[in-house]
Chains A and B, each alone.
Chain A
Amino acid sequence: MIPLEAVLAVSAALFCIGLYGVLARRNAVLVLMSIELMLNAVNVNLIAFTAYLAPARNIGQIIAIFVITVAAAEAGLALAIILRLYRNRGTVNVDEVDLMKW
């Protein structure tokens, strides 16, 4: 049997790797990829908890389906925003888009 802690440790590590990517990358596409990693870590957590704690009620899998839906919508919108950014500013580097920075 796989201990629940092992699954949670794996997903925590995945989340932190994604967090590093979000903070350290300057290309907007790479930031988006890191966000996808973080969302996946959350899904692993939800599915692990539903399998170990309440397999009969199955709430975690349903919430994971919603998370995947929102992630798909987010990826499409992010592509549109990145395309618009590239067309208007000629760059996708988030540190060069500082018009609204104080």
Chain B
Amino acid sequence: MTPLQLLFYVVSVIMLAAAVGVVVARSVIYSAVFLLVALLAAAGLFVVLFAPFLAIVQVLLYGGAVIIVLFFAVMLTRRPDDPQKLDNPQWPLAVVAAVLVFGAFASILLGARWVTKAPGPAPDLAALGDSLFTQWAVPFEIASLLLLVALMGAIIIARPGEKEE
């Protein structure tokens, strides 16, 4: 087993274990910490799959920004009667649904014939930026517009109204 394979399997096991931790933890804070571990492990997976830039973006945006936002959400919505029940009464149905969907994915995975050639490194960062600003310029601009609209929408939704102040 090559070091790359070993890294892939170790990182995958860490990621899946942390993801299970997110969905079964008995406290929202523990879930957030497990999510941080899972997202950082996903960044490691990106490195194995020849996407170092995506790994850096993942650490900065998810490990930094999104986790901070989630911690804010947890802190601002805590009630004195914590810990309370975090799961639906129908959670066994959710297990069934998740297992069924995984079964569908597994049958597709086992049924198809996949390429057997080795993965290759993607073009460097300069080529990525080049195609982002030429071939993908319109989606890029739409994404920036989306971020602006989301920013304004979040401010308008979260701002206290005149009556509440």
Q: Which residues of A contact B (CB under 8 A)?
A: 1-10, 12-21, 23-30, 32-34, 36-37, 40, 43-44, 47-48, 50-53, 55-56, 58, 61-62, 64-66, 68-84, 86-87, 90-92, 95
> Closest chain A residue to B151 by CB distance?
A76
> Closest chain B residue to A95 by CB distance?
B88
Q: How far is the CA of A80 from the CA of B158 in the complex (A)?
A: 5
B45 touches A24 (CB 8 A): no
SS class, residues of chain B in contact with chain A = helix
Q: Is B162's beta carbon under 8 Å from chain A?
A: no
A70 touches B143 (CB 8 A): yes
Q: How far is the CA of A61 from the CA of B129 in the complex (A)?
A: 11
B77 touches A83 (CB 8 A): yes
Number of residues on chain B facing chain A (CB within 8 A): 85
B51 touches A19 (CB 8 A): no
A40 touches B42 (CB 8 A): yes
B115 touches A19 (CB 8 A): no
> Closest chain B residue to A39 by CB distance?
B62
B46 touches A47 (CB 8 A): yes
